[in-house]
């Protein structure tokens, strides 16, 4: 009896709890909560969108390069007899830089001298008809090959500077063997490397959307961390004619005068190009909101007393102002720039001036 009495009491309490829960979760109450949220009004401030004229500029980072870089090496392996320069030396066009071992050249000259005698003798005999044309042609061919070999060895026994510049690297010492195997950071074989630094070049890969805006001769501003606050002017030299389908970029080559050689190849630099004057919407940066967990940016527009959310892209930034880009925005739209953090799409708003 005691157990039945306790069970009956438990069931009574459960019934009371279920009844209370059912009353508090009625459809009518849920509708009332939703209506209350939808009827709330947020106080906001707005500004009227209008076009501003801005300079479209693009900024890219790059490494400065020598205008010309040559990895100097003979056409065939051999012993390095003497190197006349060291890394960092200034050199002039035509200056003797490297001498290779002359043993092969001397042997080739002796061989040429012997063949030349045979050729002269054969030429005399041909004129009197004592040898056939075929015999004469064979000796003539041998003489021409020996002469070409001597010229080749002479050209590659001494290496001279092809331009005015500096020696940027030296890879061998006197007496060492040059094998012809790649030994430079560029993956090429060389005894020394020469650079022309009175002009430098900058190579950048630019987004394809700017292709029609960039042409040869456009001015470029170059800045570096080595010379903070200083701007070095350059120009666009070459716009490569193809787009890389993998990156959707094209290559632009720029030239920077460097007569005082304050800039050096390998320096980190920033290149800025002013492309054109355009009209754009420039608004306070605080008016632009970011969707949490993504890179999506958006703003709110006030229309007929309600907030409308509009996705935007970002363009140039000007201190506390930023360019916004969207096909959904028009001149004269009322942009909400205060109170927007509490808004959701479609909520009622009250404009305060």
In this structure, are residues 196 and 164 in contact, taking their beta carbons and an 8 Å threshold?
yes
> What's the pLDDT at 128?
80
> Average pLDDT for residues 170-185, to the nearest whole number?
93
Q: Domain 58-65+196-277, what fold?
A: Elongation Factor Tu (Ef-tu); domain 3 (2.40.30)
Where do we find the tokens 């044309």?
Answer: 133
| Paired strand residues for 195 | 69, 166
The kind and range of the H/E element at 194 are: strand 192-207
Q: Residues with Cβ < 8 Å from 136, sequence gap 6 or more?
A: 122, 123, 125, 126
Q: Give the strand pairing for 219-224 and 232-239.
A: antiparallel
Domain boundaries, given as residue ranges, for the chain: 41-52+279-351, 58-65+196-277, 74-190
Does the pTM of the predicted model rise above 0.85?
Answer: no
Residue 110 confidence class, pLDDT cut points 50, 70, 90: confident
Q: Is 336 helix (H, G, I), strand (E, B) or coil?
A: strand
Pairwise CA distance, residues 134 & 142, whole Å = 13
**Residue 350: both structure tokens together:** 């009250």
Least confident residue range of 150-154, 251-255, 338-342, 343-347 = 150-154
Q: Which CATH architecture has domain 41-52+279-351?
A: Beta Barrel (2.40)
Do residues 298 and 310 touch, judged by C-beta distance below 8 A? yes
pLDDT tens digits along 291-343: 888 889 999 999 999 999 999 998 888 889 999 989 899 999 999 999 988 89
Helices (H), 71-187: 103-127, 133-157
In 185-331, the DSSP E strands lie at 192-207, 219-224, 232-239, 249-257, 268-284, 289-290, 297-303, 306-318, 321-325
* 283 in Cβ contact with 325 (< 8 Å): no
- Per-residue exposure over 49-85, b if at least 16 CB sit within 10 Å of its own CB, e if not: beeeebebebebebebbbbebbbbbbeeebebeebeb
| Cα distance between residue 351 and residue 353, in whole Å | 7
């Amino acid at each position: 009896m005691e157990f039945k009495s306790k069970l009956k009491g438990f069931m009574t309490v459960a019934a009371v709890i279920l009844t209370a829960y059912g009353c508090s979760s009625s459809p009518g109450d849920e509708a009332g909560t939703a209506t209350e949220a939808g009827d709330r009004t947020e106080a906001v401030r707005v500004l009227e969108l209008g076009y501003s004229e801005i300079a479209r500029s693009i900024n890219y980072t790059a490494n400065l390069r020598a205008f010309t870089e040559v990895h100097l090496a003979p056409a065939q392996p051999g012993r390095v007899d003497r190197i006349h320069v060291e890394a960092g030396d200034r050199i002039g066009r035509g200056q003797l830089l490297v001498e290779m071992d002359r043993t092969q050249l001397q042997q080739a000259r002796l061989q040429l001298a012997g063949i030349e005698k045979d050729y002269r003798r054969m030429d005399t005999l041909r004129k009197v008809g004592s040898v056939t044309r075929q015999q004469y042609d064979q000796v003539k061919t041998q003489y021409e090959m020996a002469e070409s070999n001597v010229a080749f060895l002479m050209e590659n026994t001494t290496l001279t500077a092809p331009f005015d510049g500096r020696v940027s690297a030296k890879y061998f010492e006197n007496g060492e063997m040059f094998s012809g195997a790649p030994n430079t950071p560029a993956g090429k074989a060389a005894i020394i490397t020469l650079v022309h630094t009175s002009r430098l070049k900058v190579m950048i890969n630019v987004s394809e959307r700017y292709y029609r805006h960039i042409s040869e001769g456009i001015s470029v501003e170059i800045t570096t961390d080595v010379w903070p606050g200083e701007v070095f002017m350059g120009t666009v030299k070459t716009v490569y004619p193809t787009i890389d389908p993998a990156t959707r970029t094209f290559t632009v080559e720029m030239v920077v005068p460097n007569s005082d050689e304050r800039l050096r190849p390998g320096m980190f630099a920033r290149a800025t190009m002013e492309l054109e004057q355009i009209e754009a919407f420039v608004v306070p940066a605080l008016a632009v909101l970011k969707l949490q967990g993504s890179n999506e940016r958006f703003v709110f527009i006030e229309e007929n007393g309600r907030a409308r959310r509009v996705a935007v892209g970002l363009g140039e930034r000007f201190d506390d102002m930023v360019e916004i880009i969207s096909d959904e925005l028009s001149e004269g739209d009322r942009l909400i720039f205060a109170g927007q953090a509490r808004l959701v799409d479609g909520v009622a708003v009250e404009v305060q001036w």
